Amino acid sequence: MTFQRLLDEIRFEFAAHLLSGTAITAAEVGAAVSLIDAFAFSRAFKAWAGMSPTEWRLRHAEQREPPG
């Protein structure tokens, strides 16, 4: 496995975790994994996961308690 492939795997696993376990926007998730352009993040995430960040969030959302 190349370093770039390992880095991509770590980025997308972290992105998937953020999408399913937090309420931050997909653009913020992209920035958190160093893909600042929201469109580029969405396209890359879809290539990795086979679905958009929004679809991932809907299918994998953990139960979160409302703030407060």
The whole-number pLDDT of residue 63 equals 55
According to the model, what pLDDT value does residue 67 have? 59
Query: How far is 39 from 36, CA to CA, in rounded Å?
Result: 9
What separation in angstroms does the CA of 68 have from each of 23, 31, 62, 64? 14, 26, 18, 12
Model pLDDT, residue 36 = 84
Q: CB pairs under 8 A, 24+ apart, for 52-55?
A: 53/15, 53/19, 53/26, 53/29, 54/26
What does the pLDDT read at residue 34? 92
- In the chain, what are the domain boundaries? 9-60
Name the pTM for this structure. Answer: 0.81
Mean pLDDT, each 10-residue run in order, the chain (68 residues): 93 95 94 91 95 94 60
Fold held by 9-60: Arc Repressor Mutant, subunit A (1.10.10)
